[in-house]
C-alpha cells in the first residue's frame, strides 16, 4: 500500500478546555445563592466621590491631592457572573479607609509582655512541634559553631546574587538612626479578595 492510497479521516469536533459556563454558573449559585446578583460595578467610583465621616487621630491629610483619573475605556468582562468586586482605584480616599480599617483598628495589649519569656516559649513550641527528637543534636552543633558573618563571606555571597540584589546592598548608606521611623508606607491592592460566603456582597 502506497502513501497515496491512504485515506485520512479528521475529526472537526471543537474541544473545549473549560466547563460549560451555564454549568459553572449553576454550581456557583448552588453554593453561594444570591451572591452573583448584586450590582457593584460603580462601587469604586461611589467610594471615591462620597463624603467620609470618621474619626482619626495622629495623622495629617494633604487635601490638595488630586483625585485619580477615571479610565475612558472599558475592559474585558468575564462571562461567568460572580461576586468578584470591581478593582479598587488607588486614591487618597482608599488609603484613608485602609488606614482606618487596618492600622487604626489594631487592639492594644491588655497587659505587660515579657519579650524574653515570649521568645523562649516560641522557640520551645517550635522545637517540640517541628524538630525531630533524633535530630536535636543539630541544634547543639549550631550553638557550638555559630555563623559569624564577615566581609569576605558577604562578598562571596554577593558574587552569587543577581544584579538587583547587589544593587540593594551596594546602595547609598542608610543608617538606622537616620531613618524616619514615624513614616509608614503601604499600598492598596486593586484586586479585592471576596469573602467566600453569603456575606460577600456586604463586606467588600
pLDDT confidence band for 120 (50 / 70 / 90): very high
79 and 18 Cβ atoms separated by less than 8 Å: no
Look up the pTM and report it: 0.52
* Range 12-26 average pLDDT: 75
Cα 40 from Cα 119, distance rounded (Å): 46
HSE-CB for 44 with a 13 A CA cutoff: 21
- pLDDT tens string 143-194: 888 888 888 888 888 889 988 888 777 655 566 677 777 776 777 788 888 8
Which residues have C-beta within 8 Å of that of residue 200, sequence separation ≥ 6? 32, 35, 83, 194
Q: Which three cell numbers stand for residue 141?
A: 552543633
* Range 125-152 average pLDDT: 87
* Range 88-101 average pLDDT: 83
98 and 192 Cβ atoms separated by less than 8 Å: no
Burial class (CB in 10 A: 0-12, 13-18, 19+), 44: buried
Cα 120 from Cα 52, distance rounded (Å): 45
Which of 129, 130, 55, 41 lies closest to 89 in space, CA to CA? Answer: 41
Residue 144, SS3 per DSSP:
helix
Amino acid at each position: 500500500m502506497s502513501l497515496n492510497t491512504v485515506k485520512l479521516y479528521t475529526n472537526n469536533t471543537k474541544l473545549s478546555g473549560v466547563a460549560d459556563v451555564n454549568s459553572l454558573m449553576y454550581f456557583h449559585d448552588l453554593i453561594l445563592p444570591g451572591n452573583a446578583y448584586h450590582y457593584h460595578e460603580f462601587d469604586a467610583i461611589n467610594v471615591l466621590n462620597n463624603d467620609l465621616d470618621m474619626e482619626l487621630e495622629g495623622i495629617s491629610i494633604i487635601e490638595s491631592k488630586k483625585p485619580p483619573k477615571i479610565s475612558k475605556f472599558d475592559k474585558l468582562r468575564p462571562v461567568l457572573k460572580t461576586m468578584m468586586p470591581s478593582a479598587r482605584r488607588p486614591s487618597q480616599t482608599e488609603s484613608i479607609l485602609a488606614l482606618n480599617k487596618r492600622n487604626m483598628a489594631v487592639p492594644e495589649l491588655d497587659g505587660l509582655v515579657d519579650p524574653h519569656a515570649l521568645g523562649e516559649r516560641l522557640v520551645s513550641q517550635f522545637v517540640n512541634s517541628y524538630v525531630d527528637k533524633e535530630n536535636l543534636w543539630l541544634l547543639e552543633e549550631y550553638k557550638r559553631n555559630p555563623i559569624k558573618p564577615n566581609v569576605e563571606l558577604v562578598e562571596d555571597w554577593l558574587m552569587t546574587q543577581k544584579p538587583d540584589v547587589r544593587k540593594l546592598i551596594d546602595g547609598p548608606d542608610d543608617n538606622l538612626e537616620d531613618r524616619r521611623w514615624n513614616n509608614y508606607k503601604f499600598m492598596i491592592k486593586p484586586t479585592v479578595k471576596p469573602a467566600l460566603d453569603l456575606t460577600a456582597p456586604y463586606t467588600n
